[in-house]
Chain A
Amino acid sequence: NAGVTQTPKFQVLKTGQSMTLQCAQDMNHNSMYWYRQDPGMGLRLIYYSASEGTTDKGEVPNGYNVSRLNKREFSLRLESAAPSQTSVYFCASSETGDERAQYFGPGTRLLVL
């Protein structure tokens, strides 16, 4: 039981390049989330998917798109990376409902030059 997995662990991009961050969970959770974490800013929600087939914007969605591929997988895409998107990205999952605890993946460190 791996929990929440993320790939890649680390990525360097040039400004304007695109990439997709992958996330998968094996806990049979309905809800999945993408956060970014910057020094002094805490965790900020980018997008979330309350259940398979639905996605919603979070606090900082600009510059990102998501796809809930199936119940297990939730990907985050940067279409045209900017230096301001340099951050650590965490995927999380939970049972249905915003009152449920979330469980995090190991994170992806992204550097945009």
Chain B
Amino acid sequence: QKEVEQNSGPLSVPEGAIASLNCTYSDRVSQSFFWYRQYSGKSPELIMSIYSNGDKEDGRFTAQLNKASQYVSLLIRDSQPSDSATYLCAVNTYTGRRALTFGSGTRLQVQP
């Protein structure tokens, strides 16, 4: 089992809809969770961080964390074509290395 798993997609949603991106992780003691957006040919850009169970909202983005189910999600409201990108989930997993573990990413396509 991979430490951080994401559906590779593509996830296709119409403009204005809510996009829901999901991520599961295997390390029960993980404490920090991040969502990055990566446009094609560009570097990952941090968009959300979440550390406690529940929801965290920032503009059109909402991160949701459920540590009991080992599940973190990202909701994008009022999706825009400019949101089309790959979204990477990152988790601090205690593998002996002091670094984040990244999922392979979900490609989101927002159709005009």
A binds B: yes
Tell whether, in the assembled complex, residue A42 and residue B102 are in contact, meaning their CB atoms are under 8 Å apart.
yes
CA–CA, A35 and B44, complex, Å = 11
A13-21, A72-80, A104-112: which lies at the interface: A104-112
Binary CB contact string for chain A from 7 to 26 against chain B (1 if under 8 A, 0 otherwise): 00000000000000000000
Smallest CB-CB separation from A33: which chain B residue? B99
Decide if A81 is an interface residue (CB 8 Å cutoff): no
Question: At the interface, is chain B mostly helix, strand, loop or mixed?
Answer: loop
Within 8 Å CB of B49, what residues of A? Answer: 101
Q: Which B residues, 74 to 111, have Cβ-Cβ distances below 8 Å to chain A? A: 88, 90, 92, 97-100, 102-105
Q: Is A64 located at the chain interface by the 8 A CB criterion?
A: no
- Interface membership of chain B positions 35-50, coded 1 if the CB is closer than 8 angstroms to chain A and 0 otherwise: 0000000111110010
By a CB distance below 8 angstroms, the chain A residues around B100 are 98, 102
The answer to whether A43 touches B102 (Cβ under 8 A) is: yes
Is B7's beta carbon under 8 Å from chain A? no
Q: A48-B97, A101-B34 are in contact. Are A106 and B102 (CB under 8 A)?
A: no
**Total cross-chain contacts (CB, 8 A):** 57
CB pair A99 B32 closer than 8 Å: yes
Q: How far apart sit A106 and B43, CA to CA, in the bound complex (Å)?
A: 5
**A97 close to chain B: CB less than 8 A:** yes
Name the interface residues of A36-80: CB closer than 8 Å to any CB of B: 40-43, 45, 48, 50, 56-59
CB <8 Å contact, A45 and B34: no
A98, B43: Cβ atoms closer than 8 Å: no
Inter-chain pairs besides A42-B105, A101-B46, A102-B100, 19 sampled, C-beta below 8 Å: A33-B99, A35-B102, A40-B8, A40-B104, A42-B88, A43-B44, A43-B102, A48-B97, A57-B97, A58-B97, A58-B99, A97-B98, A100-B32, A101-B34, A102-B34, A103-B46, A105-B43, A107-B42, A107-B43
